[in-house]
Structure 1
Amino acid sequence: MTPPRSYPATIAAPVEHELVVKKSRFIATVEPVGSVEDADAVIARLRKRWWDARHNCSAMVTGLLGDQARSSDDGEPSGTAGVPMLEVLRRRELTDVVAVVTRYFGGVKLGAGGLVRAYSSAVSEALDLASLLRRESLTQVMLEVPHAEAGRYDNLLREWVSRHRATLGEPRYAAAVTLEAWVPAGQVTELADGLAAASAGSVVPVTGEERIVDVPAGPPSSSG
């Protein structure tokens, strides 16, 4: 059986973090974005916000497979800012994210190695504070249950999802209640068997479309 394709993760929400190295302030901002244009808009907004800073260096990775990447040293010596920032994003296996590090010069030169460490550390420490969204190719599974039974099956689904690489969808209320889960294709049968056992065969789930779904993955576990 072919293993499911893996996709780069992204971050759930913007994070800002400040690092001070030999009196220079390095303010790292990492934000989730949906496109190169979104990333450019974030960079423009932060340049305006930190207009009096000496440098606003940036790196971005976009695309479902993380196949688009760009970086800028914004006046720092070539290769000492944007590329090290980009390498952190790559090492963390992230996409649809932009990082901007704003530097206020403190009067002490750091040298090329010091700049590389400062810019990469600023991004890495900001990402340590971020919550990740894992991206999975999941199959929609729907089950229709009576209103009186909805709570029991909702709890059953929640418990099952918590033990698998799956997530819940939004319930829909009509004459009956339609509950929804997004499940790895290889686990649909296992869920169906569990529902059959719990309902004495009266609840038969229906599978729908496949979709790339963002699943909360908690804080990153690796450091870059």
Structure 2
Amino acid sequence: MPTVLSSEPAEYLVERSRFIGQTFRLTDPEALAESLEAMKAAYPGANHYTWAYRIDETHLRASDNGEPQGTAGLPMLHILQRQGWEETLVVVVRYFGGIKLGRGGLVHAYQKSAQQALDHTVPGVVKEIRTLQIRIDYASYDRVQHALEPLVTTLDAEFSADVGIRATLEKARWPDVEAALDAAARGSWTCVGTHDALELVPLTDGKTDE
């Protein structure tokens, strides 16, 4: 499920009303106020600061912030749900332009603004990443490098009495990496350390558009 790796604000104008939307990564509802304050500081004096978040299917909320009930927060939340965004907050601020949009117009405007904010978001995904440190002999280095490069995210080598290799990889790929090491180093390699951690990484297969 995608979440926010990075984002930029997106602006939408309709009937002289100005809508500005931006997404934020939100893992804890208590951090909501911080993102809202950031938007209020960036866009002071707006008439409405509406928002919706979906951390997972059981932790989700929305606010119309003074707009007619059900015309702002809930339509934005529906987009997050349909597209599967998790740990994601979308905030849309509105500067009223003097022309009322009606319920249908408001729903469309807030959905459009939320979608534009998502379109200006670089999606990421949380994965378990393993950092691996091994030592091999010089004779095995070229074979090991060739075998590991398609399987790991990064690979660095340090040359001394033997060759030290530091690689990062998705932990789920460890069985393939271990098998490749055994074959390339012909069983002659030593693991000197591993470290596993959850990391937010770019979502390489993209996200589903509405």
Alignment correspondent of 1:102? 93
Task: Describe the superposition over 1:3-24 as per-residue Cα deviations: whole angstroms up to 9, x where unpaired.
Answer: xxxxx32111132000112221
Q: Is the 8 A contact 1:157 1:181 kept in 2?
A: no
Of 192-201 and 214-223, the range deviating more from structure 2: 214-223
For structure 2, the 5+ residue unaligned runs are none
Q: CA deviation at 1:172?
A: 9.2
TM superposition score normalised by structure 1: 0.76
Q: Is the 8 A contact 2:26 2:87 kept in 1?
A: yes
Change (3 A) 1:173 1:69: farther
Q: Is the 8 A contact 2:125 2:201 kept in 1?
A: yes
In terms of fraction of residues, the more strand-rich structure is: 2
Structure 2 counterpart SS, 1:75: coil
Q: CA deviation at 1:30?
A: 1.0
Q: Tell me the number of residue pairs that the alignment of Structure 1 and Structure 2 aligns.
A: 207
Supply the RMSD in Å over aligned alpha carbons: 3.1
Q: Is the 8 A contact 2:136 2:190 kept in 1?
A: no
1:1-224 matched pairs, under 5 angstroms = 8-62=1-55, 65=56, 67-136=58-127, 138=128, 140=130, 142-145=132-135, 153=144, 156-161=147-152, 167-168=153-154, 177-185=164-172, 187-203=173-189, 211-218=197-204, 220-224=206-210
Q: Is the 8 A contact 2:147 2:180 kept in 1?
A: no
Task: Describe the superposition over 1:117-176 as per-residue Cα deviations: whole angstroms up to 9, x where unpaired.
Answer: 11111111221121111223x363624125967787566534223xxxxx44x8697976
Of 176-185 and 89-98, the range deviating more from structure 2: 176-185
For structure 1, the 5+ residue unaligned runs are 1-7, 162-166
TM superposition score normalised by structure 2: 0.81
Q: Is the 8 A contact 2:75 2:111 kept in 1?
A: yes
